[in-house]
Amino acid sequence: MKKRLQVLGARFQGKTKTLFSHSLTPNTYHLVPDSRGFTILLAALVASLVLTLGISVFSIAQKQVVLSSLGRSSQFAFYTADTAAECALYWDIRHDYFSSPSPGITPTCAGPDPLDIQVTEGVLGVLPYTMEFEFEPNGYCAHVSVRKSTVDPRTVIHADGFSTNCAEISISSRSLQRSVELNF
């Protein structure tokens, strides 16, 4: 059996030498003078393609980060507007604050600071009139307008929420505004 394996191994070696010996001679792998520099050109082409692909991926990732931050700011602005509208609705429904010509309490929203509510259109108690106030829940600006009238809808609460504080609304280029309006 051992002798038989040796014979098969010798035959295999002989056949592989004849198969591959003609392509591995030293004279077969030299460069033709006209093709010199092709490797450098090919390497430069591949490098520029990889660089272009990398820059494209970076540009897309950068845009995604900007969109993500805008979505986050938009969400904060909407939540601020919703908080402001709910606050005005609470003081109107529970305490009838915006209907009374001389309310006896000072309303607060999202904190201990009293609101500075001013009549901006008409006369308080004489319909129609509009009252406005501004406050900063959690550092974001909210501007609320409450309009009372004799025709439907009798009460309109319009709340604007911003993604920045009240002092930065006109300064910041990334300040977003979202609005909520309640009609009843």
* 140-178 confidence digits (pLDDT tens): 999 999 999 989 889 999 999 999 999 999 898 889 999
| Residue 21, pLDDT score | 54
| pLDDT of 119 above 80 | yes
Residue 66 counted as domain residue: yes
Helix (H) or strand (E) holding 92: helix 38-93
Residue 111 counted as domain residue: yes
Residue 46 counted as domain residue: no
Percent of the chain past pLDDT 70, that is, above it, reads 80
Q: Which tops the pLDDT comparison, 85 or 25?
A: 85
pTM above 0.85, yes or no: no
Helices vs strands, H then E, count in the chain = 2, 5
Residue with the two structure tokens 């504080």:
165
Residues 6+ apart with CB under 8 A from 85: 144, 157, 158, 159, 180, 181, 182
Mean pLDDT of 64-80: 92
Q: How many domains does the chain have?
A: 1
Between CA 184 and CA 182 the distance in angstroms is 7
Helix (H, G, I), strand (E, B) or coil at 182: strand
Q: Contact, 168 vs 109, CB < 8 A? A: no
Between CA 90 and CA 129 the distance in angstroms is 19
| Residue 172, pLDDT score | 87
Helix (H, G, I), strand (E, B) or coil at 48: helix
| Residue 19, pLDDT score | 52
Residue 42 counted as domain residue: no
Residue 31 counted as domain residue: no
Q: Which tops the pLDDT comparison, 109 or 11?
A: 109
| Residue 38, pLDDT score | 79
Q: Confidence class of residue 29 from pLDDT cuts 50, 70 and 90?
A: low
User: Which has the minimum average pLDDT: 124-128, 132-136, 143-147, 167-171?
Assistant: 124-128
Strand 118-123 relative to strand 177-183, pairing:
unpaired
Residue 52 counted as domain residue: no
Residue 5 counted as domain residue: no
Looking at residue 168, its amino acid is E
Strand 118-123 relative to strand 142-148, pairing:
unpaired
Residue 154: Cβ-neighbour burial (10 angstroms; 0-12, 13-18, 19+) = middle
Q: Contact, 129 vs 117, CB < 8 A? A: no
Q: Contact, 78 vs 160, CB < 8 A? A: no
Query: Which structural domain range is residue 101 located in?
Result: 57-183
Q: Which tops the pLDDT comparison, 100 or 60?
A: 60
Residue 11 counted as domain residue: no
